[in-house]
Amino acid sequence: MGTVRQPAVAGLFYPAQAALLQQEVWQYLQQATTTGPRPKALVVPHAGYVYSGPVAASAYHLLQSSAETIKRVVLLGPSHRVAFSGLAMSSARAFHTPLGDIPLDSEAHKTIRDLPGVREFDRAHEEEHSLEVHLPFLQSVLSSFTLAPLVVGDATAEEVGQVLETLWGGEETLIVVSSDLSHYHDYETARRLDMATTRAIESLQKEPLQGEQACGCRPINGLLYVVRKLGLSIRAIDVRNSGDTAGARDRVVGYGAYVIEQP
């Protein structure tokens, strides 16, 4: 039956107590003011909630009217702890958070397991926060869903894109790509760099994003590959940094929320 992956950063990036966690997530969602149609795909940041929670909530706020429609979430994020090639699936049967268990989508994993670069590699998931921090937001805005989590290592845009195309689905499937933007610049430098990265993303730039622009550059590059192929567009709905949300302005981390809407 597989194991249940336990949270690695509960109590660090977000509260470990269910009541406090739910309260904090709902507070961020209630403070969000974004409007628009329900996105097909999101790019959202993955830092501690005090830093990136308000920006992530700007995107997740748009899902609240579709709680009953979305039944599967394909979640991709970069590897921070383990160096490897390709995309890592998990053998777990569920991912646990203080808000409960999320069942993994076994059918999705069967569908992609033979694609180039895809393999089962639990070690990539064990301590990785880039996927985990999104789970309480998803549990708070969606009713019932399965999860297809993939940690992205050294993978090409085509490898990531092929996985996304295979799992793209219809209204029942939401794609979430996890990434922060620039790291540890002063406030004004970060703003300048992150706006340049935002222009590159919104223009569907074919030149691949690099790690200094976004730590999740590889999953973003794969998503942009698919967006170009399908003739869709992507737009920024919130771009800030830790100097705007919490902390000093001498060494900040950039955060962006981007949405893709499918006609």
Q: Average of pLDDT values for 245-261?
A: 96
Q: Average of pLDDT values for 224-233?
A: 98
Q: Average of pLDDT values for 89-116?
A: 98
Model confidence at 1, in pLDDT bands (50, 70, 90)? Answer: low
pLDDT, tens digit, 9 for 90 and up, residues 42-61: 999 999 999 999 999 999 99
Structure confidence at residue 243 (pLDDT):
98
Structure confidence at residue 124 (pLDDT):
98
Structure confidence at residue 263 (pLDDT):
81
pTM above 0.85, yes or no: yes
Is the predicted pLDDT of residue 65 greater than 90, yes or no?
no
Q: Average of pLDDT values for 90-102?
A: 98
Model confidence at 262, in pLDDT bands (50, 70, 90)? Answer: confident
Is the predicted pLDDT of residue 221 greater than 80, yes or no?
yes
Three state DSSP letters for the chain:
CCCEECCCCECCCECCCHHHHHHHHHHHHHHCCCCCCCCCEEEECCCCHHHHHHHHHHHHHHHHHHCCCCCEEEEEEECCCCCCECEEECCCCEEEECCEEEEECHHHHHHHCCCCCEEECCHHHHCCHHHHCCHHHHHHHCCCCEEEEEEECECCHHHHHHHHHHHCCCCCEEEEEECCCCEEECHHHHHHHHHHHHHHHHCCCCCCCCCCCCCCHHHHHHHHHHHHHHCCCEEEEEEEEHHHHCCCCCCEEEEEEEEECCC
Domains of the chain: 4-260 (3.40.830.10)
